[in-house]
Amino acid sequence: MNKNIFYKTLLLLFISGFILSCSDDYLDSSRYFKDRLTEEKVFESKVYSEEWLANIYEELKGINADVASKAVTPHNFADDMYYGDRDSEYDPSKNELSYNMFKMGRYNENDKQGTWTQSYRGIRNASTFIHNIYMNTEMSEQEIKDYRGQARFARAYLYWLLLRKYGPIPLLPDEGLDYTDSYDDLAIPRSPYEDCAEFISNELLLAAQEMEALGMVRGQDGSARPTVGAALAARAKVLIYAASPLANGNTSSYATQLVDDQGRQLLSSDYQEEKWAKAAAAAKDVMDLGVYQLYTVPVQETGDNATIVPPADNNFSEKSWPEGWADIDPEKSYAQVFDGTLPASGNPELIFTRGNNQGGENIRQMVAHQLPRSATGWNTHGLTQKLVDAYYMDDGADVPGKDLEIGRGNGSQRVDGFVTQEDYEAGLFRPLLPGVSLQYANREPRFYASVAFNGSFWPLLNESQERNRNQQVFYYRDNPNGNGFNSSNAYWLRTGIGM
């Protein structure tokens, strides 16, 4: 007999006998998971419970970020924007031109749908946390209550993200689902918008009551965690949307066609005025906390950085803050909230923030796209003229020429002329520099904090190189920040006006 055949036969008999002898254990996979934690061990431990909760917050990153760069969040942070680096013809193989994909309707049901997966995964994990955190043996009763409130807030907020993006959505049973059930039992239909909003509202109210156990505010190390105010503010926003015409008295053909599997209309055609009262009362709950206030910078009367004082109006200009603005700098009080001067932990206006915990395409990247190309930015976020005209003159009047391009307005024309060197030396039209159009003169303080008009001044204190700071930036053709500077330049403002 061939020696190799003999050994192979013997090995086969040995393996067969081994499998038969331990057949009772053959289908028992538990021996492979002896190193895995049980739910009891997880929730008995404070460290493991905190890790579980942190994992839920992870689902608020990326495509679920409220404020992020456009490659993650297609709506970015404003509708009245034009993103110049995403305006070429959409290439499906790259799956990256989200500006064209969404603004021009070139998307399908598979594009940018991570919100659905992330949100329902977080909802499931939050429900598990809510139902098991009571087992913790290392935390006080107040801590357990606060953590449960945080998880409840996160679950409600994830539902809120889904509702904002998809409209009426399925609400999962609180006790969860058995994945071994049939498809028919697992296929939960959409709930009407009213039911979704009411559920989220009630959950946020309960979360606020639970988080109240540890007070109204968190320290600097917890500034990215929700508070009572965060829950109540999110609730107010949910109720405002629920009172709006989209979900309150919607009789459009679209609304009548949007029904569930039982034929129920998912957007209410029955207008109820009391929904607005409910939303207003919810917003008042946040105000009555007395926790949040507007950030202000004191007036500076002299020096290069002196306050640009708006014209006297014989009312607010005569009164101190908060009745008026006589003792504050209106422009800096607005600008420093957004320009990096004010940290999140010290901002009295912030109610809920994710801080730097956003993943890729975060606020830092978004800002880089707004900075001039002549510094180290991408120079691609353009404001529309309509948004620029929405800012008032410094006396509260509409800007001359407002809405002229879209066939509306009061018949007035835009102001002609430019700031001259003589104007500048005489201190006229501050803060405008020579060469700037006079249509940007005498505008309200928020305008100068927000709009990068042609010839605007950029301090650019973030720049490491001194030569890249303190620039007057023009967007003319053949300028480093303008179209046509070189044949391959894609980094210019398509609208001619930046952020």
Q: Express each pLDDT in 163-173 by its tens digit.
A: 998 899 999 99
Question: What's the pLDDT score for residue 270?
Answer: 94
Most confident of 42-46, 79-83, 85-89, 357-361: 42-46
Continuous segment of H or E residues that includes residue 115: helix 114-132
Question: What's the pLDDT score for residue 33?
Answer: 40
Mean pLDDT within 65-86: 70
Question: What's the pLDDT score for residue 465?
Answer: 85
Tell me the C-alpha distance between 388 and 440, whole Å.
10
In this predicted structure, the answer to whether residue 95 has a pLDDT above a threshold of 80 is no
Which residue type occupies 74?
P
The CA-to-CA distance between both ends of the chain, in Å, stands at 86
Mean pLDDT within 440-466: 91
Question: What's the pLDDT score for residue 422?
Answer: 96
In this predicted structure, the answer to whether residue 31 has a pLDDT above a threshold of 80 is no
pLDDT in tens, 458-467: 988 878 888 8
Continuous segment of H or E residues that includes residue 108: none
In this predicted structure, the answer to whether residue 23 has a pLDDT above a threshold of 90 is no
Residue with the larger pLDDT of the pair 3 and 198 = 198
In contact, 354 and 361? CB cutoff 8 Å: no
Is the preceding omega at residue 298 within 30 degrees of 0, hence cis? Answer: no
Continuous segment of H or E residues that includes residue 260: none
CB atoms within 10 A of CB 440: 24
Q: What is the pTM of this model?
A: 0.83
Q: Of 52-56, 288-292, 381-385, where does mean pLDDT reach its minimum?
A: 381-385
Backbone angles phi, psi at 458, to 5 degrees: -115, 115
pLDDT in tens, 465-483: 888 899 999 998 878 888 8
Q: Which domains does the chain have, with CATH numbers?
A: 39-74+112-287 (1.25.40.390), 363-473 (no CATH)
Pair type for strands 456-458 and 381-383: unpaired
Residue 159: closest CA among 130, 205, 124, 210: 124
Q: How confident is the model at residue 179 (pLDDT cuts 50, 70, 90)?
A: confident
Q: Which long-range contacts (CB under 8 A, 24 or more apart) does 37-42 make?
A: 39/128, 39/132, 40/135, 42/132
Question: What's the pLDDT score for residue 356?
Answer: 62
Backbone angles phi, psi at 248, to 5 degrees: -135, 100
In this predicted structure, the answer to whether residue 97 has a pLDDT above a threshold of 90 is no
Query: CA 298, 303, 308 angle in degrees (round to 5)?
Result: 55
Q: How confident is the model at residue 21 (pLDDT cuts 50, 70, 90)?
A: very low
Q: pLDDT averaged over the chain?
A: 84
Which residue type occupies 223?
S
Q: How confident is the model at residue 407 (pLDDT cuts 50, 70, 90)?
A: confident
Question: What's the pLDDT score for residue 13?
Answer: 41
Question: What's the pLDDT score for residue 92?
Answer: 53
- Chain-centroid distance of CA 352 in Å reads 10
Tell me the C-alpha distance between 49 and 147, whole Å.
9
For the chain, the maximum distance between any two Cα atoms, rounded to a whole number of angstroms, is 115
Tell me the C-alpha distance between 293 and 290, whole Å.
8
pLDDT in tens, 276-321: 999 999 999 999 999 999 999 999 988 878 898 888 888 889 999 9
Question: What's the pLDDT score for residue 120?
Answer: 95
Question: What's the pLDDT score for residue 198?
Answer: 98
What 3-state class would DSSP assign to 475?
coil
Q: Of 19-33, 77-91, 144-158, 308-322, where does mean pLDDT reach its minimum?
A: 19-33
Q: Which residues are CB-contacts of 136 (< 8 A; sequence separation ≥ 6)?
A: 43, 44, 45, 46, 49, 144
In this predicted structure, the answer to whether residue 369 has a pLDDT above a threshold of 90 is no
In eight-state DSSP terms, residue 267 is S
Question: What's the pLDDT score for residue 215?
Answer: 79
In eight-state DSSP terms, residue 248 is B
pLDDT in tens, 191-231: 999 999 999 999 999 999 999 988 788 876 677 789 999 99
Share of the chain above pLDDT 90, in %: 51
Residues paired with residue 381 on neighbouring β-strands, in sequence order:
83
